[in-house]
A and B are shown apart, each in its own frame.
Chain A
């Protein structure tokens, strides 16, 4: 088979793969929506009562009934779900029980802040993990490698909120470099981004190290050395490229993890993003907000996975060739 035919087949195969994944997407989201809808309702005490009590008043039966009817929580569960689903299909995610504003509007207002934080953390993670992982692999079992290994374990083990407060204490209170809270300048962003990035950085450093070490032990590398190729050429053109392939899947999951981890980091650093909004909404039993949030996170996860799978296939043509042979 000629090269262009192989290329064409690979191209068609990737599209078919994407199409299959996109077709399954609505079913995944439907499942997520049903589970979220039910699980949030398992939380004791219904929204009308919570909202009234959180307002500092002892609710009367009339007040609870009036609010239930206004919120629509007096309807049977199935009706509530279908009303919500119908709205979602028309891109109407309902209104917040507390603020009365459209949920989509509130989430769109807060999403950029969370993305900004997650992106900054992602950049942090890449900046730290790639050099550390590669150097650790190249100088395997050296003191540097051992120190990095120890730090990786520590960074993965430390709870995010503890790390956040530690960084605040050290860099804000003692060294006076960064503000303790808020958003606005790059200074406000560094500590939250580092707190969010560190646990994943530890994982990534070790993953990169392992992957590079595995590649270095492969025969084609030894052959390349025997051919007299420069070490820098072998590493940059072959080893790093091939070592990156298994990491792409992990990279996709990382973005989702960063968005999830932002819930705690936003709380500690008073970052005005979606995470804080979610915590308040869970406390207030603000069903539409929680449902919309989970749906959005699910979509992001699914798309991030899809993108990494595609990237994986593009970087590693063997995946498609194997399938063609089968």
Chain B
């Protein structure tokens, strides 16, 4: 037979050759120290994008933060410190900010960083004000003026206290070298090259595959300890875990980069080192007060009393997230206030529902009032490994007190949209995190179609009063008054049980033992690569 004599042996030889080839030529795994110097390899789910400091998607904030720097820096304790500006002065009427720039800063291509370049960057950003209008400061900037070669003045039309916090944000107010500007300075359309002042320079890039950042030898600050950082693009979180276990990655860093199950599995193996940052944002539920039963405060409170939050957070996040009893973590500016926590107490929950007239009729499992059963809809992100089990656990807890929670898994955007359209009762919600909280939270909460809070609180009697206080605090100039206003606003939200704070999210870090220890930052985008080192 021809097949057995000729074709089959050929196929077998071909297959054996492939397998033999495979086992003899393995790609060098991981990073370690090599001819290229010290290299750290990290996995990231999305391509780094065009590295344009003035635009958003598809640019990844973590990559932008490696190459570009801001005038000032936000610290984990909520304070602001100098960065490219060595100092600043604020006018008495709080409308003018005078920034004194560092004179020892150079871009990665060796060109100078000075007032002209800073103004060029500001003008490029402000040419597209509508796009950046989410940032309150953009709507107040009247002019950016050169005072001398290393001093600029930022002129506002009215006081706006969070200027420094917004300047510290990763985009759009970060600085591109002159050689990076396209013709006409239309950076919103694209840039010529990613030239920044930051500690890293992009030296090799294969779209959707990897990006290699090398140490910026012109860097003005403390130079990074390793020579290169290789960012491998791995879209699937399970694949990132496997690549890490296979020593193709040195470190996994960030919130939600891998599932908490995988994180715990790797941590428990005792083969790797782990670290958790200070809290950066809050995971919560947002109640739609326009919606049926949730218009009643006692129902909103009862739901919070009914769920054993400590147990839920511990069992689902494996202790990587801290239980949240307030909407903001204490280190967030103006948020360190005393509020009475709502702790697990199912008896109290039942009592509150009885008082609100939602009672259990003979033999019923669901409470009702005027013939209407107490049914609520909760939307969670279908692909989120935390939200789904939390939703299911709450469904079980609420069933015990006679509340039927209907669950719906949806696309990441759908829940918020449905809540804003008053089509759902409860949605998972999270705060923005530093450096824009709590002022961006306040601003968005008083703005329609922003983060859903404006729409969710429309059923509150004091919704207008809350909005009034928010407007007042953003333009006020008196610090003591601002502290009081924040206290009032956060207390009102807390007393009205508009949010159900669940846990404080953190950056979860896991790394191989060949890396030295370092401190993770409480930031979504600032990964402290410069502090990382190999043993």
With A131-B8, A179-B27, A183-B209 known to touch, is A61 a contact of B3 (CB < 8 Å)? Answer: no
> Across the interface, which residues of B come within 8 angstroms of A217, CB to CB?
none
Binds B, one of A83-91, A246-254, A269-277, A300-308: A269-277
Give complex CA distance A4, B208 in Å. Answer: 56
Contact with A along B215-253 (1 / 0, CB 8 A): 000000000000000001111101100110110100000
The answer to whether B18 has its CB under 8 Å from any CB of chain A is yes
Q: Which of B3, B242, B413 contacts A168 (CB 8 A)?
A: B242
Verify A58–B447 contact, CB threshold 8 A: yes
What DSSP secondary structure best describes chain B's contact surface?
A: loop
Verify B209–A231 contact, CB threshold 8 A: no
Verify A267–B235 contact, CB threshold 8 A: yes
Give complex CA distance A195, B412 in Å. Answer: 29
Verify A44–B57 contact, CB threshold 8 A: no
The answer to whether A127 has its CB under 8 Å from any CB of chain B is yes
Q: Which of B1-45 contact A (CB under 8 A)?
A: 1-3, 7-8, 11, 14-15, 18, 21-23, 25-27, 29
Verify B208–A272 contact, CB threshold 8 A: yes
Verify B27–A53 contact, CB threshold 8 A: no
The answer to whether A45 has its CB under 8 Å from any CB of chain B is yes
Contact with A along B478-496 (1 / 0, CB 8 A): 0000000000000000000
Verify A185–B413 contact, CB threshold 8 A: no
> Across the interface, which residues of A come within 8 angstroms of B165, CB to CB?
none
> Across the interface, which residues of B come within 8 angstroms of A67, CB to CB?
131
Q: Which of B385-408 contact A (CB under 8 A)?
A: none
The answer to whether A173 has its CB under 8 Å from any CB of chain B is yes
Verify B238–A59 contact, CB threshold 8 A: no
Give complex CA distance A235, B1 in Å. Answer: 8
The answer to whether B56 has its CB under 8 Å from any CB of chain A is yes
Give complex CA distance A172, B23 in Å. Answer: 11
Verify A180–B243 contact, CB threshold 8 A: yes
Q: From residue A85, how far is it (CB to closest CB) to chain B in Å?
A: 26
Verify A63–B7 contact, CB threshold 8 A: no
Q: Which of B3, B56, B210 contacts A55 (CB 8 A)?
A: B56
> Across the interface, which residues of A come within 8 angstroms of B233, CB to CB?
270, 272
The answer to whether B205 has its CB under 8 Å from any CB of chain A is no
Contact with A along B413-439 (1 / 0, CB 8 A): 110111000000000000010000000
The answer to whether B411 has its CB under 8 Å from any CB of chain A is yes
The answer to whether A177 has its CB under 8 Å from any CB of chain B is yes
Q: Which of B2, B26, B132, B246 contacts A173 (CB 8 A)?
A: B246
> Across the interface, which residues of A come within 8 angstroms of B236, CB to CB?
267-268, 270
Give complex CA distance A62, B131 in Å. Answer: 8
Q: From residue A142, how far is it (CB to closest CB) to chain B in Å?
A: 15
> Across the interface, which residues of A come within 8 angstroms of B447, CB to CB?
58, 60
The answer to whether B112 has its CB under 8 Å from any CB of chain A is no
With both beta carbons as reference points, the residue of chain B lying nearest to A237 in the complex is identified as B2
Verify A270–B239 contact, CB threshold 8 A: yes
> Across the interface, which residues of B come within 8 angstroms of A100, CB to CB?
189-190
Verify B27–A187 contact, CB threshold 8 A: yes
The answer to whether A51 has its CB under 8 Å from any CB of chain B is yes
The answer to whether A147 has its CB under 8 Å from any CB of chain B is no
Q: Which of A75-100 contact B (CB under 8 A)?
A: 98-100
Q: How large is the interface on B (under 10, 10 to 19, 20 to 34, 35 or more residues)?
A: 35 or more
Chain A CB within 10 Å, residue with most, of B25, B29, B61, B131: B131
Give complex CA distance A172, B234 in Å. Answer: 15
> Across the interface, which residues of B come within 8 angstroms of A60, CB to CB?
133-134, 447, 450
Verify A165–B242 contact, CB threshold 8 A: yes
Q: Which of B56, B134, B248 contacts A181 (CB 8 A)?
A: B248
Verify B413–A182 contact, CB threshold 8 A: no
The answer to whether A54 has its CB under 8 Å from any CB of chain B is yes
Verify A61–B448 contact, CB threshold 8 A: yes
Contact with B along A251-288 (1 / 0, CB 8 A): 00000000000000001111010001101100110000
The answer to whether B444 has its CB under 8 Å from any CB of chain A is yes
With both beta carbons as reference points, the residue of chain A lying nearest to B132 in the complex is identified as A63
Give complex CA distance A186, B25 in Å. Answer: 10
> Across the interface, which residues of B come within 8 angstroms of A184, CB to CB?
27
Give complex CA distance A65, B134 in Å. Answer: 13
Verify B22–A190 contact, CB threshold 8 A: yes
Contact with B along A4-41 (1 / 0, CB 8 A): 00000000000000000000000000000000000000
Give complex CA distance A62, B132 in Å. Answer: 9
9 further contact pairs, Cβ within 8 A, besides A59-B134, A177-B22, A267-B236: A63-B133, A176-B26, A179-B27, A188-B27, A235-B1, A235-B3, A270-B233, A270-B239, A283-B412
- Chain B residues in contact with chain A, CB under 8 A? 1-3, 7-8, 11, 14-15, 18, 21-23, 25-27, 29, 46, 49-50, 56-58, 61, 130-135, 189-190, 206-210, 232-236, 238-239, 242-243, 245-246, 248, 411-414, 416-418, 432, 440, 444, 447-451, 524
Q: Which 10 A-B pairs have the closest CB atoms?
A: A55-B56, A66-B130, A272-B208, A232-B1, A58-B450, A45-B413, A57-B134, A58-B444, A270-B234, A180-B243
Q: What are 21 A-B pairs with beta-carbon distances under 8 A?
A: A45-B417, A51-B57, A53-B413, A55-B57, A56-B524, A59-B450, A63-B132, A63-B134, A67-B131, A173-B245, A180-B248, A181-B232, A185-B27, A186-B22, A235-B3, A236-B1, A270-B239, A272-B207, A276-B235, A280-B46, A283-B412
